[in-house]
A and B are shown apart, each in its own frame.
Chain A
Amino acid sequence: MDAFYLVKIGEILLKLGNRKEFEDRLRSQLNRRLAFMPHKVEAYPGRYFVSVPEEAAADAEFVLARCPGVNGYARARKVEKSVEAVLAAAVEVARGRLASGRRSFKAESRRSDKSFPLGSFELSAEIGARVLAAFPEARVDIHKPEFTINAEIRERAYVFADPEPGLRGLPVGSGGKGLLLLSGGIDSPVAGYQMARRGLDLEALYFHAYPYTSQEAKDKVVSLARILSGYLGGMRLWTVPFTEAQLRIKKLAREDLSTVLMRAAMMRVAQRMAERVGANCIVTGESLGQVASQTAENLRFTGSFTDFPVLRPLVGCDKEETIAVARRIGSYETSILPYEDCCVLFSPKHPILRADLARETEAYRALELEPVLEEAIKQAERLDLPYPLAEKYRKRGE
């Protein structure tokens, strides 16, 4: 028997004019992520349905739990639209829940097909009665049930229990494409995840300053990109060598300016790379006041080096909030590995807090960094991180 899932979609339903586009995008995102196994995605108004072979059920759940645009999903039974079939399926669904030790339940029904002989309330009552009759240990608790049996009477009848939460948000790509500045820290992967959830497709850019930053630091960034690829459905990571630029800044710039000037140079490179990959915005993990250099003045200054919008989804988050998300998406443990950027030598003791746009822009010009950055961009390395299931199925195929 196939594993059959009912998939709830949320925010897409609110989109009136271009709802079709959002729906198609979600469907293609699901198809792309399920491509490694035999599968079927069916779209109906307000509900999607996914079926895969039983042995691929865990992988399908991996996909559904990480696909932006999915509000929730549940393993469901699809039956003919008759009262008897629905009640029989409800007993089977209850059997599974009771087997895991749950006892109290309630039934909820939705009838969009008004030709069905029972109303929602009556159907729920019938389900309750049938389950109680079948399992003496079960009891009804409509306030705090340990499980809920859902019946939906639509183009067919579906019976399921307790949907798992999805990521919600919007399907990847519906908001265009961005370039994520990915470091080895805690913030930037979370920023990427937040924007992916808002429907932004992403490529990532990492600045590697070997030998100042170690190979381990780079491997760590690759691991983080791999984690993000699980939400994006695959991701491309660009690594731009930044040693020459950093050395030039360190040698020529006033010490307290080196941090903002370095960030300005990174923005220049980001702008060029964004143009190259067809992105329309730049995403960073910056958070106001998190480090001394992240002030409104400094963000204005560094932001002036690109004409793309710079999206900073964490700008108003405190560190605890960011860490909580990092833990949830599985990037935290990687981010805290001790291979942080070895830029102690490049970090001034007292970085400037309030960059003056005109004056510091002049300081930046005086560095004559453009040829150095040009060369760095030429040497950019591309790494395609496939969707995690792709690797799993490739290994299985070998």
Chain B
Amino acid sequence: MTYLDWASTSPPDASLLAGAAEAASQFYANPSSGHALGAAARAELERIRGRLAAALGAGPGRVVLTSGGSEADAIVLLSALRAQDRLRASGLSKRLRVVTTEIEHPAVHEQARLLQSLGLELVYLYPRADGRVDPAELAEAVTRETVLVAVMAVNNETGAVQPLAELARALAAASAALGTKPPRFHADAVQALGKLEFRPAELGISSAAFSAHKIRGPRGSGALWMQGELEPLAVGGGQEEGTRPGTESLQGAWAFAGAAEKALSSLAERREAALALEARLISGLASIPGALPLPLGRGPGDARYSPFILSAAFPGLSGEVLARALSDSGIAVSTGSACSSNARRKGRRVLEAMGLQPELAFSSIRVSWGELTGGGDIDAFLEAASTLYKKLKA
């Protein structure tokens, strides 16, 4: 099988899984236990946290170990409920506002809708046609009641890199004009980690969510980098300074730290290889009559996009059908578009938010690659896609 679905998950690095199992066996005690074994596990866990923080490029702030990117997002988003509740308890009736984008991963998009259903005000920003959010629009959406802004670092369908530093500056300026301190600015950085230079503290954001399994680490391990204080919704044994209750996964953190270190040290060469694959894919698509890279007009080496992800439209053929047929031909890709009515909105949300015609969004698939992908994989995809598109196009 030719695996071109790295943005969904990446094949785990076997040496990291083995090393993690060893670490787990060696430091098996509960890091919260008072005995010597617990203390040793605590010390090891903190060493791992330090390695992870360095590899994440975190800078000043805390690294909270989580079960993955979704939980890291949830800790930040759901804390807005506590803020709203404090206001209510003090007798104030104002509704707090959350500003996010229509192109977020469901981990943020659905959580934001939950906040809305529980009484907060929710504002969605729509990206421009290039898939990027306009800082001026963010500035306009911010009010004195805004408690949280969440914009992803890299979009998981289009690869669009969001201008986080500019957004943060616009947010700061807008807040200053309102005479209020800037709200928390959270970024889901799951598709950024290991794919581009990402130093959250230098961007002016206040928290970022990361996941291990997108960079060849295991599932079930993630991290939240954060500055400042937030009051989490979930409570329990007080681990992670109360931010993320639950006994810490030492093996998950160990493997994540290892994966992040490898990703950091190989970033330059992997990006170079990814850029070559991106160019090969985009030029190959151009030779399939009708096929289009998305956003329309995306060319190779464009810094606005991650060179590890490309969505493409095959007008006249449902993306779901093409993905299915490709799978039968031994090629794994994802679709952002699903045919069934229940999934229809969900599947097309990101592309339609950019103003793409529904027909194109409907016909799109997402190709994503990583360090094990070679030029032959891209060629195999292009050949199969070309044949199947010709055959199945209505």
**Residues A211 and B340 in contact, CB atoms below 8 Å apart:** no
Interface range on chain B: under 10, 10 to 19, 20 to 34, or 35 or more?
A: 10 to 19
Q: Within 8 Å CB of A36, what residues of B? A: none
- A342 in contact with B339 given A211-B392, A212-B318, A247-B394 (CB within 8 Å): yes
A116 CB-CB contact with B under 8 Å:
no
Q: Are B321 and A212 in contact (CB under 8 A)?
A: yes
A250 in contact with B394 given A211-B324, A345-B318 (CB within 8 Å): yes
B318 touches A342 (CB 8 A): yes
Complex Cα–Cα for A338 and B320 (A): 13
Flag whether B328 is at the interface (Cβ < 8 A). Answer: yes
Residues in A with CB closer than 8 Å to B341 are: 338, 340
What is the minimal beta-carbon distance from A255 to any residue of chain B, in angstroms? 10
The interface residues of chain A lying within 8 Å CB-to-CB of B394 are: 247, 250-251, 345-346
Q: Contact: A345 with B340, CB < 8 Å? A: no
Residue B343 lies at the interface, judged by CB distance under 8 Å to chain A? yes
A346 proximity list for chain B (CB < 8 A): 394
Neighbouring A residues of B328 by C-beta, 8 Å: 211
What band does the interface of chain A fall in when counting residues whose beta carbon is under 8 Å from B?
A: 10 to 19
List residues of A (204-227) whose CB comes within 8 Å of B's CBs: 210-212, 214
- Alpha-carbon distance between A344 and B338 when the two chains are bound, in angstroms: 11
Would B318 and A214 count as touching, CB distance under 8 A? Answer: no
B321 CB contacts on chain A under 8 angstroms: 211-212, 342, 345
- Assess the B392–A342 pair: CB atoms within 8 A: no
Q: Is the CB of A211 within 8 A of B339?
A: no
Within the complex, the shortest CB–CB distance from A251 to chain B, in Å, comes to 8
A residues 332-360 with Cβ under 8 Å of B? 338-340, 342, 344-346
* A342 contacts B317, C-beta separation under 8 Å: no
A35 CB, min distance to chain B CBs, angstroms: 39
Give the docked Cα–Cα distance between A340 and B320 (Å).
12
* Residues of chain B from 129 to 144 with CB closer than 8 A to chain A in the complex: none
Q: List 30 A-B residue pairs with CB atoms under 8 Å apart, sorted by A's residue number.
A: A211-B324, A211-B325, A211-B328, A211-B392, A212-B318, A212-B321, A212-B392, A214-B324, A247-B392, A247-B394, A250-B394, A251-B394, A338-B338, A338-B340, A338-B341, A338-B342, A339-B340, A340-B339, A340-B341, A342-B318, A342-B320, A342-B321, A342-B339, A342-B340, A344-B339, A344-B362, A345-B317, A345-B318, A345-B394, A346-B394
Chain A interface (Cβ < 8 Å from any Cβ of B): 210-212, 214, 247, 250-251, 338-340, 342, 344-346
13 further interface pairs, Cβ-Cβ under 8 Å (given A211-B328, A345-B394):
A211-B324, A211-B325, A212-B321, A250-B394, A251-B394, A338-B338, A338-B341, A342-B318, A342-B339, A342-B340, A345-B316, A345-B318, A346-B394
